Structure 1
């Protein structure tokens, strides 16, 4: 739904010379390629829309490229989605990513990371983090959870919209969120199966698979790890945990990266989950951040020229570029340590280079 929020802001913005919104460039040495894929799970109907016989999903695969010459940079969103969220007279142009469409992949087999976005949000919302990981040698697969995401465009031009009914009671909300999680976990496991038959499979090392996500996507990372041991390490960006994994826990590395607690209150699902984690685990908080700080909106909303009072409730008081830079190094340090067995020493103690990161708890086990 966040892209619909952006659409509302853009529609209300006075007409001015067109300004191109931008994402910070990746920091790695590798050029980045990207391809999209339309996947159909014929083993199940769509769980949200009666009459849709099969579950249809869209994914993007970001990867280190051998060369990008002659391959155009991908748009942040597809044309149909762009037309819905950015009115022609908004005065703004949506970002262009740093991924080059269908660029040839670099040699070698790279660790694979799955990305699941927040509830009601599309796979493109984590592009700044995703393409940076790809520039450092990871293959990253971003997932649109159809009818959970606000807008998903298929290759034939159809656009699926959010179709999850609003709950009427707290008990109904709890059941609904558990279903959302179950659907996302099933989506993710299906995609993991299908990756092996894709042309890019030769660039993927399936013995080194991780997963991360924002909000509900972070819960999906934990839920997928509980059900699928192919996922070796997981990371939650500011999402409440949901379902049986809270009590069951996990025996593989997991990291919690949270926003600054409002009024000092912490999410009780985090403390419960922490007590049941049995692998290496880390809990840090990003000072000055808010819930949407862990998405591209951290850098995009401030570019609209809105007053701080309109932007800060969503993305906090931390500078957007600084926030993204910090998240990039900590997310990468976690996956470097637990998928590549590199030092990841940033995870060992507070760093004077990143005073905005507060360590809440840390327990390191042997690899």
Structure 2
């Protein structure tokens, strides 16, 4: 995340007055201001009705819609996954009737949208490719002034970009009877679809990957029937600033994210007719082998959830500060994962300049986790920026050609590392980590520097 610069999680970060976790709530506020009209945070209906009655409900939806008209830049191409399986996907609408929505007064239940990816079987190519963002998400994303403000609104058809996941494709029988599960949490101000490159990759290698949107924090979450929940963070931040309660707000954001994560795990575990999963996935998930990863605020969420929930066996934090602060070097207001550390495997992956020696919250987590005997690695992707750990790494070079970004603009957004090399390295190390700790398959990539990936530095 960003510090006080007013950019989104996908943007650059300069100087030590910055933060890459929950702490830069300025990011969310700018996101909310950009996408919110009158009645920000209220739901917008387009022929939609509320959720069905029941203790907890889940509605499965088909492929997301796409926005394809007007802007000068057309669809971008995301890197194809390299695993042995095609990728299938289904979007799930989950309702937690045991929890009131923490952001919207009077909303009795917490609703979430998640995307579930999985290894798909023969014939997957007959099914449509899912869009990276739904129509509402794309419209909101267009107004974020993200990507460091280099791409003005109205220039890109964000909803035209497709993932490599096929909506509703059958599950691959050859992937195994029980499939390990990995959760994904996006950075603040980003839709869950901005992590599609890594999510598709893991699914192509036999994982069930569940990507979350955090409703009313994400710029827009689109529910079945076209109902849209928009961010309320602008008002939340304004109130917190007036009351001098920014730390409390940052703590709440983190707590809500972790509660969302734990609820999703609960739903995945529900069986029988009440299961949120499509029939083809019921009974196929190995919930004794659950991992989590995320970028920026999502990386903090992954680490905090690892601390809070023993069902999560291993986590990857990609460039996310793990404290309630707006500065990387500020050790005040630590999180519980910072104070306690973790006792299970944790991989830190940072942009150039971010490691456990320079980021105060990383140092705290590192020291306390090491004291507990946890397996730890800290990797730096040389020449990278904060956004290098998202789909931006593949998208920005295409945007440069389509809307005329300069080489300096590109470097400002995703650094100087070759995009194809960055994507390959991130895929390799994240996959190797989960293979090692969820499947017991250790190819040695995480043991030390590799000549195959000179862009990756192991931080001692």
Taking structure 1 as the reference length, what is the TM-score of the superposition?
A: 0.90
Secondary structure at the counterpart of residue 229 of structure 2:
strand
Q: 1:101 Cα shift?
A: 0.4
Q: How far apart are the structure 1 equivalents of 2:356 and 2:436?
A: 30
Q: How far apart are the structure 1 equivalents of 2:242 and 2:450?
A: 44
2:449 alignment partner in structure 1: 350
Q: How far apart are the structure 2 equivalents of 1:190 and 1:307?
A: 44
Q: 1:2 Cα shift?
A: 5.9
Q: How far apart are the structure 1 equivalents of 2:126 and 2:318?
A: 35
CA contact (8 A) 2:133 2:191 kept: no
How many positions carry a matched residue from both structures? 353
Picking from 247, 254, 258, the partner of 1:185 is 258
Q: Deviations 1:221-252 (Å, cap 9, x if unpaired)?
A: 11111221010001100001131111111111
Secondary structure at the counterpart of residue 209 of structure 1:
strand
Picking from 311, 315, 331, the partner of 2:430 is 331
What pairs with 1:1-367 in structure 2 (closer than 5 Å)? 16=72, 19-67=74-122, 68-85=124-141, 90=155, 92=157, 94-107=160-173, 108-164=177-233, 165-166=236-237, 167-168=240-241, 172-196=245-269, 197=275, 198-199=277-278, 200-242=281-323, 243-261=335-353, 266-277=358-369, 278-305=373-400, 306-361=405-460
CA RMSD in angstroms comes to 2.4
Pair 280,263 (structure 1): closer, same or farther in 2 beyond 3 Å: closer
Pair 15,282 (structure 1): closer, same or farther in 2 beyond 3 Å: closer
Greater mean deviation of Cα atoms: 23-32 or 343-352: 343-352
Q: Deviations 1:37-84 (Å, cap 9, x if unpaired)?
A: 000111111111112211110000000011304211111111233345
CA contact (8 A) 2:356 2:378 kept: no
Secondary structure at the counterpart of residue 306 of structure 2:
helix
Q: Deviations 1:203-231 (Å, cap 9, x if unpaired)?
A: 21111000111111111111111221010
Pair 265,109 (structure 1): closer, same or farther in 2 beyond 3 Å: closer
Greater mean deviation of Cα atoms: 302-311 or 347-356: 302-311
Q: 1:318 Cα shift?
A: 1.4
Structure showing the higher strand proportion among its residues = 1
Greater mean deviation of Cα atoms: 300-309 or 203-212: 300-309
Secondary structure at the counterpart of residue 20 of structure 1:
coil
Gap regions ≥5 residues in structure 2: 1-7, 11-29, 35-69, 144-152, 270-274, 324-334
Higher relative contact order (CA 8 A, sep 6+): 2
Q: How far apart are the structure 1 equivalents of 2:242 and 2:386?
A: 24
Q: 1:171 Cα shift?
A: 6.1
Pair 239,95 (structure 1): closer, same or farther in 2 beyond 3 Å: same
Pair 25,134 (structure 1): closer, same or farther in 2 beyond 3 Å: same
Q: How far apart are the structure 1 equivalents of 2:344 and 2:200?
A: 25
Greater mean deviation of Cα atoms: 115-124 or 132-141: 115-124
Q: 1:312 Cα shift?
A: 2.3
Gap regions ≥5 residues in structure 1: 9-13, 362-367
Q: 1:32 Cα shift?
A: 0.3
Greater mean deviation of Cα atoms: 329-338 or 88-97: 88-97
Pair 89,216 (structure 1): closer, same or farther in 2 beyond 3 Å: closer
